[in-house]
Structure 1
Amino acid sequence: MDRSTEFTFGVPWVMSFFHQDWMLDASTEAEAVAGQFVEELEPEAVLLVRRDARLLHDVLPADHITALWEGGVEGGERFFHRGRVTDGAAWMRQLMEVCDAWLARRPAPVTLSGADRYEGTELAGRVRAAVGEFDGVLDREVVQALTECVDRCTPDLAFRLLLRALPVRSDALSPHYLRLSRERYARLAELGRAFRYGAYVVGDIEYLVDA
């Protein structure tokens, strides 16, 4: 059974909405997400966002969620300093409200497939090791929060958040950028296959591999 999407999903997908110009199209963070939740969107996509947001909110302390969000969003260090959203936990509550409003308009209840519910518990050690490989590259707070996410949320969510944090960190290191060896990328790709991800979940960061 395959995942419902070939692409990045859940909270890491929502992180991609917040590029440097997002405020040109929305006046608040919640409005920016609602604007991307078009009526034609597959319901599973929104339910996956809600599941991730609830898991983070219910399991991790607010400062860890804040670190993960800031590490996965372009210019994330400014996200919680505009006075509208106070921390990661408050933001997850807002995000769940946006999801609930969209899902309430669906004519029938939405459920996730077995593949979408797969958490990869048996892959925890491998994901923890993958996170550890970037200690010293990613901010220490992000590494600590990712490790906590592996152990207390799910390895699946932690791994997707790691994949989102790497290109964001690379851009922040400009003009030097972050480069991955082919061996390191191969390990990430193998984990992606173990999680039964679609082709573009890990493939989106292949451009970071050394030529």
Structure 2
Amino acid sequence: MHRSTEFTFGLPWVASFFHQDWRLDASSEADAVAGQFVEELEPEAVLLVRRDARMLHEQLPAERITTLWTGCVESGEDFFLKSQLTDGAEWVRQVIEACNAWLVRHAHAATLSEADRYEGREWDGRVRSTITEFEDWFDQELVQALIECVDRCTPDLAFRLLLQALPTASVAASPHYRDLSQEQYARLASLGRDFRYALCRE
């Protein structure tokens, strides 16, 4: 049984909206999300975003959410410094509202399948080890936030946030970009297959 989407789903997918030119197409962060929630979008995509946002909002303190989000978006700390948002908790509330608004317009919206609800609890130790393997890529606050996400949210969400944060950290190190070794890539791909991510299938 496979998930309905590839590995960049939920909040990591939303993080990808915020490239360096996103303000050319949206007047606010919430508008940027709403602009991507087009009418023909699969309902599962919105449900997965809402699930991730709710989980962070209910399980982590605002400062942890802020740290996770700034580690995953291209603009980093500027995301909050250059907006009217106060912290990560306020931001995920806005994301939840955008999801709810879309879902209200789509009464036929599906429920998440068993595969999409898979949390990978049995892989919590592997995800923690993988996060600490890359601790020299991140500041300590992000490492701790990711580990807390494993423990208080789900290993699946923490691993997807890690996958989103790795290329962001590499770009932030410009001009000395960081590269994955073949062994590191293989371990990430193996975990991705265990989490049933489409791009990691054999």
Q: TM exceeds 0.5?
A: yes
Q: 1:140 offset after TM fit, Å? A: 1.1
1:170 equivalent to 2:170? Answer yes
Query: Does the residue aligned with 2:129 lie in a helix, a strand or coil?
Result: helix
Distance 2:110 2:58 in 1: 21
The equivalent of 2:36 in structure 1 is 36
Q: Deviations over 1:47-91 (max 9, x none)?
A: 000000000000001000000000000012111113411100000
Mind listing any 5+ residue stretches in structure 1 that lack a counterpart? 203-211
Q: TM-score, normalised by structure 2?
A: 0.97
Distance 1:82 1:173 in 2: 21
The equivalent of 2:58 in structure 1 is 58
Distance 2:131 2:103 in 1: 33
The equivalent of 1:180 in structure 2 is 180
Give the residue type in structure 2 aligned to 1:21: D
The equivalent of 2:72 in structure 1 is 72
Instruction: Please tell me the root mean square deviation across aligned C-alpha atoms, in Å.
Output: 1.2
Within 5 A, what are the aligned runs for 1:114-125?
114-125=114-125
Distance 2:7 2:166 in 1: 16
Q: Deviations over 1:17-70 (max 9, x none)?
A: 000110110001000000001001100000000000000000001000000000
Contact 2:43–2:109 (CA under 8 A) maintained in structure 1: no
Query: Does the residue aligned with 2:124 lie in a helix, a strand or coil?
Result: helix
Give the residue type in structure 1 aligned to 2:153: C
**Percent identity among equivalent residues?**
69
1:112 equivalent to 2:107? Answer no
The equivalent of 1:23 in structure 2 is 23
Distance 2:63 2:75 in 1: 17
Question: Which stretches of structure 1, 4 residues or more, deviate above 6 A after TM superposition?
Answer: none
Q: Deviations over 1:119-176 (max 9, x none)?
A: 0000000000000001121111110000000000000000000000000000001111
Give the residue type in structure 2 aligned to 1:197: Y
Give the residue type in structure 2 aligned to 1:139: D
Q: Deviations over 1:163-199 (max 9, x none)?
A: 0000000000111111111011100100000000111
**Number of residue pairs aligned between Structure 1 and Structure 2:** 201
The equivalent of 1:152 in structure 2 is 152
Give the residue type in structure 1 aligned to 2:177: Y
Deviates more, 1:113-122 or 1:1-10: 1-10
Distance 2:158 2:137 in 1: 17
